[in-house]
Structure 1
Amino acid sequence: MTAIEQEEAKKALALGFIGVGWIGRNRMEVMIDGGKVQPAVISEPFKENADEALKAAPGANIVTDAQAVYTDDYLDGVVIATPSAMHAEQSLQALQAGKAVFCQKPLGRTADEVRRVVQASQDADKYLAVDLSYRYTKAFQAVYNTITNGEIGKVFAADLIFHNAYGPDKEWFYDIKRSGGGCVMDLGIHLVDLCLWSLGFPEVTDVKSRLYSKGKKLQAGEEQTEDFAQVSMLTQDDTAISLECSWHVSAGQDAVIEARFYGTEGGVAFRNINGSFYEFKAEKYKGTNTEVLVTPPDNWMGRAGLVWVEKVLKGQGYDARTAQEYIKTAEVIDRIYGRHL
């Protein structure tokens, strides 16, 4: 390693954090624990959240206006964990101010919003990452490797399930103008991303969705958040994908989270354990036989943020591949909601 590389390896990123509710605070704490981050500025309107954040980052400057984060020339990057309606505009302003961005999902409520942010990342040549956290679990990494290594042959079908028996506890989730959608935008987006990523982001040629609110079927484009969704998709190479997700469904446990892939030579699955939102295992199937690939423990919360920190430290700028993945996933979500003709 050269002297310059050694100096870069020692450098800490000066970061601004916009939104430090429990998710934002968790991501901040994980980044701090990683040892290569200096939390310099925190933008948070609620004093209780700000006070909790200062316990982990006692030297940070608390501001109530996010504008103070964008205009701070000392900062290398910005971490965003605010309500969904704010994500695109805040990411856009941070990128235009020359900051790398790590944003909670969804990056935008629509594909158009996502495209605008991606364009800003390209224009500024700054690295943009979205907290698609399940990609970074050891269990799903094992599933991804099994598929991409060809161990189960050609994948011809996938079943995706995410039921949250509690549902969100913040009222803005239920306002479609602020959230962009209901359980599909909140939960389904994770599984759509995992599935398309594992399959190499093929073109999705057909999408049929049935969205419900309190048992009533919603019409395409209706301004109402769904609490139950069933979606059927087909890719350009005829892989059939089914998605089912919900809030407040009577699941008999806290959560059901699964992504099962069926191939010509076997199957593989990512599954939560005992209704947990945090513990997962990976299994590989051949006929009636099951091989367990990964089981807990796995401290995966915040791991996506650590990967972003490392890449920014190494000088990563605009990443066309991941940026296009964000757009492709957003386009599928738009079609699920009937926003694409």
Structure 2
Amino acid sequence: MLTKFAVKNYRGFSDRIEWDLSNPSNYTFNTFAIKDGIVKNGIIYGPNGSGKSNLALALFDIILHLTQKSRNQHQMDTIINVYHPNDLMSFEYTFRFGQNAIEYYYSKDLLGIVKEKLILDGEVLFNLENNTLYIESDEFPMAEDIKKQLANSSNKVSILGYLWSVYPLTSVHPLKKMKEFVDGMLLFWNHEERGFAGLEDGISYIEEYIISNKLIDDFSQFLKSISNQDFKFKTANAGDKQLICDIGDGVPFSKIRSTGTSSLTLLYFWSQKMSKATFVMIDEFDAFYHFDLSFKVCQKLFSYANQIFVTSHNTYLMTNDLLRPDCNFIINKSQIKSLNLCTEKELRWGNNIEKMYRGNAFEI
């Protein structure tokens, strides 16, 4: 699981910002949101321009050089902070797998990785800095000429990626578990346009996917259960690429669904793949939802076993009926903190934390 992430000099983050999931409070309610002492589920709130989307993109930068999974153009655009264009972008990840802790650091410019270090259970496994690679682990024997080639590679290859590709690892090895975790990371959104990064190797067409996997009835039941919309679809034939509503001679689903229903369709598609995901982030997940629908969607999302976080402006979700204060985060001014760390007051089950938030009771 991911326990901590920090980034500096990336997009709007001129200063270092750290998101810590490793120190939940001792609340006795909604314990499903905590797993093995790590925050498993959460919602990130913040004013427009505070950095919610940038935090999500920064967190998923790791898939660009460690996986072959799909990436989005938003990630590939010029991303160095405009006030420090000559400084490196720095990324820090901490993972925990059972009793093993992995700290992974890298810094890069627009061309690729310049510095890279991995610490396993307190021991430095490798360190790349100043065009010099240090690696002395017996697990990864490497000739000095290979080290020099890697350290001075013109394509700035990731040392961790190289180790994963060259050295066989057992299924229980911490680095193997880290690879599986990173391969399973998923970010998606439905703003002015849809987009995603991670988990999948290519693009799928949602309605075609539903039809080809014989999920039409299941999708109809999903819409009914979560939004009380009663869509009846015609039986699809082999090779059909769009859902047809059973109205008159048939009406394409895409012609009559609302923007919110379109967003639910995207959610349904990814929910079919949640079993493969390890860490999921959905940016502005409820941009087109009724407030009550947002609550129901969160309940469904947080019932999965994997780490799942969403960003939102909807303070109706800021309630102990859904999560708990240490799982609601505020991001602003290059800081991100849980609600319980934004006030000196002791927050209890009976507190109306939404009312407190609107009354400026939380400072960051």
User: How high is the TM-score relative to the length of structure 1?
Assistant: 0.25
Q: In terms of Rg, which structure is larger?
A: 2
Q: Which one has the bigger helix percentage?
A: 1
* TM-score w.r.t. length of structure 2: 0.24
